Amino acid sequence: MKYLLWSLLLSAYSPCLAQSAAQPAESPPQTLPELQARIEAVMAQERIPGLMLTIATKDSVLFAGGFGYANLQTREKVTDQTSFRLGSITKNLVALGLLHLVRAGRLRLDDQLQDLAPEVPIQNTWAATHPVRVVHLLEHTAGFDEVYLNKSFNLSGTDPRGLAAVQLYRQQLVCRWRPGERMAYSNADYIVLGYLLEKLAGQPWDVYLTRQVLQPLGMRHTDFARRPAAVGQRAQGYVMRDGRAVPVPWLAVFGNGADAVLNSTAADMARLLRFYLSDGQVDGAARLPASDLRDMETVHSTLAARRGLGFGYGLGNYGSRLPRQTTFHGHGGAVRGFNAALQYSRELGVGFALAHNGGYNGGRVERLVADYVTRHAPLPATPPALPLDQPAVAPYLGFYQLANPRQARFAFLEELLGGAQLARAGNALLLRRGRNCPDTLIQVSPGLFRRPGQREPSLALGTDAAGIGTLMTDEGAYYQPASLAGWRLHQVLLLLSGLALAGSALGGLGALGQAARGRLRGAALLVRVLPLLGLSGLAVGLTRLLRPADDFFGFGEVNATTLAIFGGTLLSGLSAALEVGLVARQWRAVTSGWTKSWLAFGALGGAYLGGWLLLHGFIGARVWTW
């Protein structure tokens, strides 16, 4: 709760949080030995047990090997043959498999899902005019909700297949907006695509990808095993707990696995990188035409793309701006105990892949490698700036809120903290999001704007199918107009509610001291202690829910963690409701004006905060049913 209160306070009152400028950026590694030494230093600082790394061009492998330990208990070292879990990089290969089916004439990207698989239980309010198409699933623009934590890992002994695996995600397969309008990452998209692969290919999706993608690329030590045997050179995953690396069990991914079950080695990932860097060729023979690779790297379906903002998530393939504004393509992956990245630039002719077994950190290593592979990249030529078309942008100035949250259940928190304001400053626009200092944006064409020194547009303005003015960014954020006054008022009321609850809880501690001395008892004691009970329950429940550490894999069943979330948040709601009733009942009996004001402040604050959480399903939260 303290993190929420601090965020509200800073968001409401701080002018902005400047980006870290106190420490200048380090110079990029200039040689491979220097890169290796600096990677090892970062691994020691962040206590990453082991890491695999591949750096390749289309003609050669510059590095394929490992650092540290695949298993701390056995002291087995990482080599180029050590297999790591690569998580969502699986999606990139699923997209490749679907492109093979497109090339074979089995489907088209614009095909409607309901024509190909009417048995898939989707709900789409706009089906008559905006049906879900294959391209929407590939680009995460169907509008499906993200998979919740209770459907992250399969704790049973069997793995679902076929339509049964898709049925598990019925709650997520609801279009929250017109398909093809906005991007919101959802693993459910690729669960459906895995089923579609199986139906059209007539065989399990992982068998098809092994035959059509892995084997032709020569990736002999790569697999889609959800429950691999504890043999061979497989890295053990770890999480950091109390400053030490703790091994985590290999838990099977929920569903059919088409979203996150890839396992591979540094040597095999070099084969995949060279395939991309060689424009789809394998050992000199074309496996996919370069045009298909360009399609993978292109955003097709979003309103932002139709407005000219081409940067973002394509067909299982997203764009990243690495140092010197160099555009790379690929995918990332994270699964419990592991983190991974695949990045390549066909323009520069170089790419890299890495994975480590130290939890979800590792961004510093990825930045080091990115610095190294782009150290000689030329600075991009920026397009000329145009005079700001003030009449055209005037209707778009004002306050916005995020309209494409990844998880619908947590959208209210993003709305609370993630507003955006667009203002004019001379011949430029200023975009301020959250507590960050504003971005300066220069017009490059009607409705398109870029940051200084950036060659591609980073902001697009336009109207949606309903005529609503919309602000779209290169990171995939999709904003629509909202009331700044209403947003600020809600923030202030929540802040005051939190302070009221905290203050009343402190008063409850004092009341317990008075009760111990026999000075307070009965209803007079209860009305002062209830806020303390409510705050304690809220702290227990929300701490386990919003900062679950290693407990989230058990969110799908009734256990100590999920019962703590349910019981703690329920206690908070009941305490708030009972407090309001007791204060109203004892109002006339309280003679002190100060005491009345204090009790009313605490009761109303607890009621406002509790009502807000109840409205969004966080009082008595049964996460095992989400």
pLDDT tens sequence across 516-526: 888 888 888 89
Amino acid, single-letter form, for residue 477: A
The tally of CA atoms less than 13 A away on the side-chain side of residue 383 is 15
Give me the mean pLDDT over the 84-98 stretch: 97
Residues 110 and 158 in one domain: yes
pLDDT the model gives residue 437: 82
Residues 208 and 354 in one domain: yes
Q: Is the pLDDT of residue 45 over 80?
A: yes
Read off the tokens for 559: 């256990």
Tens of pLDDT along 164-189?
Answer: 999 999 999 999 999 999 999 999 99
User: Residue 427 in contact with residue 437, Cβ under 8 Å?
Assistant: no
169 domain-assigned:
yes
11 domain-assigned:
no
Residues 466 and 364 in one domain: no
Q: Other C-beta atoms within 10 Å of 308: how many?
A: 14
Residues 136 and 257 in one domain: yes
Q: State the SS3 of 324-381.
A: HHEEEEEEEEEECCEEEEEEEECCCCEEEEEEECCCCCCHHHHHHHHHHHCCCCCCCC
What CA dihedral angle connects 204, 205, 211 and 213, to 10 degrees? 180
Residues 426 and 531 in one domain: no
SS3 state at 227: coil
Beta bridge mates, 342? 331, 353
Q: Quick one: CA dihedral 177, 179, 180, 184, positive or negative?
A: positive
pLDDT the model gives residue 6: 38
Inter-CA distances, 517 with 506, 510, 514, 525, 533, Å: 17, 11, 5, 12, 20
What is this structure's pTM? Answer: 0.91
CA distance 621 to 538: 11
4 domain-assigned:
no
pLDDT the model gives residue 566: 95
User: Residue 530 in contact with residue 596, Cβ under 8 Å?
Assistant: no
User: Residue 198 in contact with residue 204, Cβ under 8 Å?
Assistant: yes
Q: Is the pLDDT of residue 332 over 50?
A: yes
Q: Is the pLDDT of residue 124 over 60?
A: yes
Residues 302 and 215 in one domain: yes
Residues 469 and 505 in one domain: no
Q: Is the pLDDT of residue 301 over 60?
A: yes
Domain boundary, last residue among 340, 373, 406: 373
Read off the tokens for 562: 């999920």
CATH of the domain at 434: 2.40.128
17 domain-assigned:
no
Give me the mean pLDDT over the 390-398 stretch: 96
pLDDT the model gives residue 549: 56
Would you report the helix, strand and coil content of the chain in percent, each value rounded to 5? 40, 20, 40
Instruction: Please tell me the least confidently modeled range out of 287-296, 317-326, 436-445, 558-567.
Output: 317-326
Tens of pLDDT along 181-235?
Answer: 999 999 999 999 999 999 999 999 999 999 999 999 999 999 999 887 654 689 9
pLDDT the model gives residue 552: 62
The tally of CA atoms less than 13 A away on the side-chain side of residue 3 is 6
Tens of pLDDT along 545-556?
Answer: 876 555 566 787
Eight-state DSSP code of residue 543: H
CA distance 180 to 140: 9
φ, ψ for residue 460, nearest 5 deg: -130, 140
Closest to 101 in 3D by CA, of 183, 194, 173: 194
Beta bridge mates, 450? 442
Residue 357 exposed, middle or buried by CB count within 10 Å (0-12, 13-18, 19+): buried
Q: Is the pLDDT of residue 3 over 60?
A: no
pLDDT the model gives residue 107: 94
Residues 206 and 83 in one domain: yes
Eight-state DSSP code of residue 210: I
Residues 67 and 205 in one domain: yes
pLDDT the model gives residue 480: 96
Return the percentage of the chain with pLDDT > 90, whole number: 69
Q: Could you tell me how many helices (H) and strands (E) the chain has, helices first?
A: 19, 23
Domain boundary, last residue among 482, 505, 533: 482
SS3 state at 41: helix
What CA dihedral angle connects 384, 388, 391 and 396, to 10 degrees? 100
Closest to 556 in 3D by CA, of 29, 156, 180: 156
CATH of the domain at 65: 3.40.710.10
Return left, alpha or beta for 549; rule: phi > 0 is left, psi -120 to 50 is alpha, else beta.
Answer: left
Residues 204 and 246 in one domain: yes
Q: How confident is the model at residue 160 (pLDDT cuts 50, 70, 90)?
A: confident
CA distance 537 to 550: 21
7 domain-assigned:
no
User: Residue 48 in contact with residue 78, Cβ under 8 Å?
Assistant: no
Place of tokens 């095909």: 111
Residues 92 and 165 in one domain: yes
20 domain-assigned:
no
Instruction: Please tell me the least confidently modeled range out of 203-207, 267-271, 528-532.
Output: 528-532
CA distance 210 to 262: 11
Read off the tokens for 447: 């409705």
Domain boundary, last residue among 326, 347, 373: 373
Tens of pLDDT along 404-455?
Answer: 999 998 899 888 888 899 999 999 999 998 777 889 999 999 999 999 888 8
User: Residue 169 in contact with residue 147, Cβ under 8 Å?
Assistant: yes
SS3 state at 174: strand
User: Residue 123 in contact with residue 144, Cβ under 8 Å?
Assistant: no
Read off the tokens for 121: 């239980």
245 domain-assigned:
yes
Q: What is the domain extent for residue 522?
A: 491-625
Q: How confident is the model at residue 25 (pLDDT cuts 50, 70, 90)?
A: low
- Show the CA angle centred on residue 311, arms to residues 309 and 316, nearest 5°: 130
Domain count, the chain: 3
- Show the CA angle centred on residue 574, arms to residues 571 and 575, nearest 5°: 80
Residues 388 and 359 in one domain: no
Q: How confident is the model at residue 156 (pLDDT cuts 50, 70, 90)?
A: confident
Instruction: Please tell me the least confidently modeled range out of 85-94, 102-111, 240-249, 501-510.
Output: 240-249
27 domain-assigned:
no
Tens of pLDDT along 459-511?
Answer: 999 999 999 999 999 989 999 999 999 999 999 999 999 999 999 999 889 88
Q: How much is the mean pLDDT over the chain?
A: 90
